[in-house]
Amino acid sequence: MINELNLLWLLLPVAAFSGWWIGRRGNNSKDRSSGSINPDYFKGLNFVLNEQPDKAIEVFIRMLEVDSETVETHLALGNLFRRRGEVDRAIRIHQNLIARPTLNREQRNSALLELGMDYMRSGLLDRAEGLFLELINSGTHLNQAYTQLLEIYQQEKDWDKAITIARKLSAISFESYNPVIAQFYCEHADAALNEGNMRVVKDMVRRAMSFDTDCVRASLIEAQMHQKNGKTKLAIKAYKRVESQDSDYITEVLMPLYECYRNMDRVDEFVEYLRMLVNIYDNISILLMLTELIAEREGENAAIRFISDELKNRPTVKGVDKLIEYALERSEGETHEHLQTIKDLTGQLIDGRAMYKCNSCGFDAKSLHWQCPGCKNWDTVKPVFGVAGE
3-state secondary structure of 381: strand
Question: Would you say residue 207 has pLDDT above 90?
Answer: yes
- Angle (CA) 383-386-390 rounded to 5° is 45
- What is the identity of the amino acid at 12? L
Check: CB of residue 371 under 8 Å from CB of residue 175.
no
pLDDT at 52: 56
pLDDT at 64: 55
- Say which DSSP state 364 is in: E
pLDDT at 214: 97
Check: CB of residue 349 under 8 Å from CB of residue 336.
no
Phi, psi of 357 (to 5 degrees): -145, 140
User: In terms of pLDDT, which residue wins out, 190 or 348?
Assistant: 190
Residue 69: burial class (beta carbons within 10 Å; 0-12, 13-18, 19+): exposed
pLDDT at 78: 80
All structural domains of the chain with their residue ranges:
2-173
Per-residue pLDDT reduced to its tens digit, 10-22: 555 555 545 544 4
- What is the identity of the amino acid at 154? Q
pLDDT at 386: 53
Give the integer Cα–Cα distance in Å for 194 and 267.
28
Rg of the chain taking only CA atoms, in angstroms? 31
Give the integer Cα–Cα distance in Å for 223 and 104.
57
Per-residue pLDDT reduced to its tens digit, 230-281: 999 999 999 999 999 999 999 999 999 999 999 999 999 999 999 999 999 9
- Say which DSSP state 383 is in: E
Question: Would you say residue 2 has pLDDT above 90?
Answer: no
Angle between helices 87-98 and 105-122 (to 10 degrees): 160
Size of the chain, expressed as the number of residues it contains: 390
Residue 347's closest CA among 371, 370, 317? 317
- What is the identity of the amino acid at 290? L
- What is the identity of the amino acid at 225? M
- Name the CATH code of domain 2-173 (choices 3.10.25.10, 1.25.40.10, 2.40.110.10, 3.20.20.70): 1.25.40.10
pLDDT category at 177 given cuts 50, 70, 90 is very high
- Angle (CA) 303-319-335 rounded to 5° is 80
Q: End-to-end distance of the chain based on CA atoms, in angstroms?
A: 48
The DSSP secondary structure of 33-84, one letter per residue, reads HHTPPPHHHHHHHHHHHTT-HHHHHHHHHHHS--STTTHHHHHHHHHHHHHT
